[in-house]
Amino acid sequence: MNPVPYRADYFGHKLHLDQNEKLIMYGVTHVCAIDGFSGKIVSFLSMPIKNNIEIYANLYRPIILDYGL
């Protein structure tokens, strides 16, 4: 089976969400959204504990409204 090479044809084609919980014991969780085509950090969020509702309301939804992704 041949792997398909990574391909993002335009801005907003692929969005990567990255979460870092290395500082969770100090009450810090980072979530970052990066565009796959340009590598631009589209949104960044820090919160005390992981909360999926906060990620949607303060990270994902504003990206949709601002960039139309």
| In-domain check, residue 4 | no
| In-domain check, residue 21 | yes
| In-domain check, residue 53 | yes
Residue 22 backbone dihedrals phi, psi, to 5 degrees: -70, -25
Q: Which domain holds residue 52?
A: 15-67
| In-domain check, residue 32 | yes
| In-domain check, residue 6 | no
Question: Which three-class secondary structure string do you get for 2-26?
Answer: CCCCCCCCCCCCCEEEEEECCCHHH
| In-domain check, residue 7 | no
Is this structure's pTM higher than 0.85?
A: no
The mean pLDDT values, 10 residues at a time, for the chain of 69 residues are 82 90 90 92 92 92 86
Identify the H or E element spanning 54: helix 52-55
Q: What is the pLDDT of residues 31-49, one digit of tens each?
A: 999 999 999 999 999 999 8
Residue identified by tokens 């601002």 is: 66
Residues 6+ apart with CB under 8 A from 23: 29, 30
Q: What is the tally of structural domains in the chain?
A: 1
| In-domain check, residue 9 | no
